[in-house]
Chains A and B, each alone.
Chain A
Amino acid sequence: MYILYIECIHNIFREISRNTDLFYLFVYFAKETDAQGNAYIIVYGGWMMENVIELQNIHKSFKGFQVKDFSINVKKGYVTGFIGGNGAGKSTTIKLIMNLLQQDSGTVSLFGMKYKGHEKEIKERIGFVYDENVFYENVTLKDMKKIIKPAYKNWDDKIFHYYVEKFELPLNKNMKNFSKGMKMKASLAIALAHHAELIIMDEPTAGLDPIFRRELLNILHELMQDGEKTIFFSTHITTDLDRIADYITFIHNGEHIFTKEFYKIEEEYAIVKGKLDLLDKETEQEFISIRKTNVGFEALTADKNRVANIFGDFVIMEKPTLEDIMYYTKKGW
């Protein structure tokens, strides 16, 4: 009887998690005995790892560029670095996520909701930092706040002023006199002032000096402490991600190559260096792409252990940087 009941619940949960792809289910069974000696089973269960952003089978074509069968998930409570070369489709993806662009087919959902019918609810919870200037140039930050504030239900003036002070932003200067870094900080102050749960940033560090970049990364690091916020962060300065990203999503030519935990990339991928005579048709299959020179080859593999088994001590293996991965993937495509 108990067993049947539990089976039933378990199946329902499994169906939910399969159909929505929203949750990872964990269920834990325990056998207990009560005072009378009757045995019963306790089920502990819960949902873990919520996806904040889900793109499923997105198709979108433009003149000369298309995104094909594109799916990505962004996990709640983590920083996801979104990498890819110029023209890989990063901005397009961000625009799809922000509903600035509509897909030809496929679904976009944020916080488990679709834009249709939930546009305001979703955008209430998103903060955005764009690469390009989106502020009215002849308006001061003070007036910009007056324009933006009424759009949000849970705007907090205190938080806004806290960050304006912290970032040393001038309230009475026209936005056109703001440097790129200041505009970025202003966007961030706005995002934080309305308690955004998801912060989407399109190339926030491009064009910033190193000191500024480090400052930004520290701020983001601080924000992540409570575990409630999610950051989705596109960049091609991959060293920024070493410091804060938990997950890396890599796209190339409008296709999703992988989404992995940062530490796993280092575990799986390797740069392999060796002599040219090690390469033949068969062994070349082991690599994503190979760069040959007169003295030897350098290649990227996505399966470090396998390559170690095949080549043994004849090759040198090194930890790849994200840049290496981007470079070799682009080459091998």
Chain B
Amino acid sequence: MFNLIFKDILIQKKVFLFYIATLVIYLLVDISPILIVVVYSLTFINTALSYDEKDNANILLNSLPYTRKEIVSSRYVGVLIFTSLFIMLTYGGRFLLYGKEASFSWKAILLIMGLVMVAISFMLPVFYKFKRQYLVFFAGALVGIYLLMKNLLVPNLNNALRELTQKFLTLQETQMYFLAIFTIVILYIGSWLLSIRIYERKAF
């Protein structure tokens, strides 16, 4: 299964330099590392999915001695590995640039993992069920909903989100963390099983 995860890196190895170069720029401008890691991880995974879709990779992978379960599972495990990789790159980069002043908290890591996992939990089943282009529709619809909410319901949604993030990062009750972690893990595993089910019935 790790061969399949390694494959995603191998395919994008030429783009990796580009990732690192832009990462350095963002770090210099001092954009929130949480945002950077989330966006980079999702971009990386999205690119991997697009390569798989464009090049008939499903036919290739399913003709090799892999089970469909392994192919789907490698994605879900891969997401966690790639996100960890970007966390290390970003925080490592920050440490190099700013030395000990660079903030580092476990809570931030948790937040990043949580956000990526929630996003992926919704993305992958849609990707396996439909085509990747539907993901774009879904993303578009989400932005639409976001804007609508911002205009109609909560005018200062951006600030509210920022506050929510801050609140999460300063939250003291460990119980709340466990609850959040538990919910996200359940969601992720549920999505994982759903994707396997969808993919096993798929025809290529």
Within 8 A of A (CB), among B166-204: 201, 203-204
Of A121, A147, A152, the residue contacting B10 (CB under 8 A) is A147
Count chain A residues whose beta carbon lies closer than 8 angstroms to a beta carbon of B.
31
Bound CA–CA A133/B60 (angstroms): 9
Q: Which residues of A contact B6 (CB under 8 A)?
A: 150
- Say yes or no: A100 contacts B204, CB within 8 Å: yes
Q: Is A321 an interface residue (CB 8 A)?
A: no
Alpha-carbon distance between A150 and B13 when the two chains are bound, in angstroms: 18
Cβ–Cβ contact B7 & A147, under 8 A: yes
A148 touches B11 (CB 8 A): no
Contact B60 A134 (CB under 8 A): yes
A135-B55, A136-B57, A147-B3 known; A102-B203 Cβ under 8 A: yes
Nearest B residue to A137 by beta-carbon distance? B55
Identity of the chain B residue whose Cβ is nearest the Cβ of A148 in the assembled complex: B64
Q: Would you call B201 and A102 a contact (CB within 8 A)?
A: yes
Contact of B66 with A by CB under 8 A:
yes
Q: Using known A-B contacts A100-B59, A134-B59, determine if residue A120 contacts B204 with beta carbons closer than 8 Å.
A: no
Distance between Cα atoms of A21 and B64 in the complex (Å): 28
Chain B, interface residues (CB within 8 Å), range: 20 to 34
Contact residues of B: prevailing secondary structure: helix
CB closest residue in chain B, given A120: B65
B162 at the interface (CB under 8 A from A): no
For A133, what are the chain B residues with a Cβ–Cβ distance below 8 Å? 55-56
Closest to B58 in A: A100
B55 partner, pick from A124, A134, A151, beta carbons under 8 A: A134
Which of A43-51, A66-74, A138-146 lies at the interface?
A138-146
Give A123 to B64 CA distance when docked, in angstroms: 6
Contact across chains for A100 and B203 when beta carbons are under 8 A apart: yes
25 pairs of residues in contact across A and B, judged by CB atoms under 8 Å: A98-B62, A100-B62, A100-B203, A100-B204, A101-B203, A102-B201, A102-B203, A121-B65, A123-B63, A123-B65, A124-B65, A133-B55, A134-B63, A135-B55, A137-B55, A138-B11, A139-B10, A139-B11, A143-B10, A143-B13, A148-B64, A150-B6, A151-B64, A151-B65, A152-B64
